[in-house]
Each structure stands twice: as structure tokens, then as C-alpha cells.
Amino acid sequence: GAVVSQHPSRVICKSGTSVKIECRSLDFQATTMFWYRQFPKQSLMLMATSNEGSKATYEQGVEKDKFLINHASLTLSTLTVTSAHPEDSSFYICSASWDRGGPDTQYFGPGTRLTVL
Amino acid sequence: AQKVTQAQTEISVVEKEDVTLDCVYETRDTTYYLFWYKQPPSGELVFLIRRNSFDEQNEISGRYSWNFQKSTSSFNFTITASQVVDSAVYFCALSGGAAGNKLTFGGGTRVLVKP
């Protein structure tokens, strides 16, 4: 149980284009989804938290107009990197959890490696 | 603010050796949750364990064991009789209190198990 998928697993795009990454909880309804970014040999950096049906909450320093997050249903959240540039190249990981009345375990997707040329 | 420190950046062992990963945390909350995740080379974070602050019982799961000591704010993880498949980056994380569901990650410890 608690399986989270991400699509695509790897994407290469040209500078200036937009890229959409999907995160799905396959066997549970995720009340909250999180988006992280990870640079090589570094820890995970939380970008934003999204709850189904409401606007995402972004961490300090993360551009909300650059990284658009939509949590349209209890099983799907999307991250769109708009007008991507080489510095946006990174490993993006989502996680999902369900509310059981307190902080709950986050289950992570397999990640998406974005390369912007 | 919450903080998690994993002082060991990389540990190299030979197969069948035991390896202990240290995790020290800081929080002002009385209710909090501690986690360990494994990140193999494929990149996906695999959930290993969750422990709440009121449960100091140590836990064993197969070759994995965890030692939670509130007195020293530590939540250490031991792999017994390591195997090559244990090679990965291991992250300790903390949530709860004002942070709610948000995870504060340590820097991670890379474990390399050589055959």
C-alpha cells in the first residue's frame, strides 16, 4: 500500500519551454501532497505543500509563478515549471500523505529528473 | 525551529559488517515524529520507520534496528550484517508541532557496502 507515482521519470527540454510533472497516489486518497527539489548529493528541499482544492503554500524563496502547483483531486497533483532555464535542472520529488488527525507519514514518488538545455 | 543533523556524510563498510547511522534532532515541541527514509541510486525515497515522541521503545525489523533516546535527542539506525543492496543514502527526518506535516530532513548519510 501507499504507492505514489510520478510522470515523467525523466524529461529534457529546451530553455524557455514549460514542463509539467504529475504526481499520483495510486492506492490512497492524499489530503496533502508535497513537492521537493534535490540537487546532486544534497538533501531534499521542500518547495511547496498542496492540499486538495486549495492553493499551494510555497516555501520562502520559491517563486510561485515559476513553479505552478495544482492539486485538482485527492489523487493527483501537478507541478509545472514555467519558462524553464538551465538552473531549473534538478531532481523533483513529490510525496503524499493522508490526514489521520496528526502529522502523518509521507510516501514518496520515484522522482523526475529535469534537464533544461 | 526544527533541525536534524546527520554528522556522518559517508560510511563505507564491507559486506556483513554492522553499520550505525547517527541522527540528532532539535525541536521545542513535546509532540513530534521521527522518520528514516532510504534513497537507493534509483532515487525514490523508501519509508523505513516512523516513531512518535512518546514511544521510546526500540524497534527491530529484520536486519534493521532503531534506537530512540529522548535524553540525547537521538534516533540512531543500525543495519546488521550489511549487504550490497543496503548501499544507499539514508535520511533521518522530523515533523510535528508547529511544522505540522512538513518534514525537516537531515543532510543524509551515504552508505557504501562493498562485497
What pLDDT is recorded for position A52? Answer: 82
Q: Is the pLDDT assigned to residue B96 strictly greater than 90?
A: no
pLDDT in tens, A72-84: 888 999 999 999 9
> B60 or A1, which is more confident?
B60
Please report which confidence band the pLDDT of residue B98 belongs to, taking 50, 70 and 90 as the band edges: confident
- Calculate the alpha carbon distances from A29 to A50, A66, A80, B65, B75 in Å: 13, 27, 22, 30, 30
A-chain residues near B111 (CB < 8 A): none
Please report which confidence band the pLDDT of residue A102 belongs to, taking 50, 70 and 90 as the band edges: low
Mean pLDDT for the stretch of residues A15-19: 97
Please report which confidence band the pLDDT of residue A103 belongs to, taking 50, 70 and 90 as the band edges: low
C-alpha–C-alpha distance, residues A83 and A18, integer Å: 5
Mean pLDDT for the stretch of residues A7-21: 97
Q: What's the CA dihedral at A6, A9, A10, A13 to 10 degrees? A: -30
Mean pLDDT for the stretch of residues B8-18: 97
Please tell me which of the candidates A43, A93, A103 has its beta carbon nearest to residue B95.
A103
C-alpha–C-alpha distance, residues B92 and A87, integer Å: 27
pLDDT in tens, B31-62: 999 999 999 999 999 999 999 999 888 889 99
- Asked if B38 and B21 count as a contact pair (C-beta separation under 8 A), the reply is no
Nearest-CA distance B18 → chain A (Å): 24
A-chain residues near B105 (CB < 8 A): 43-44
> B38 or A105, which is more confident?
B38
Closest residue by Cα to residue B77 from B26, B31, B8: B8
pLDDT in tens, A41-68: 899 999 999 988 888 999 999 999 999 9
Q: Do B101 and A103 touch (CB under 8 A)?
A: yes
Average pLDDT, chain B: 94
- Asked if B19 and B105 count as a contact pair (C-beta separation under 8 A), the reply is no
Q: Do A49 and B46 touch (CB under 8 A)?
A: no
Mean pLDDT for the stretch of residues B6-35: 96
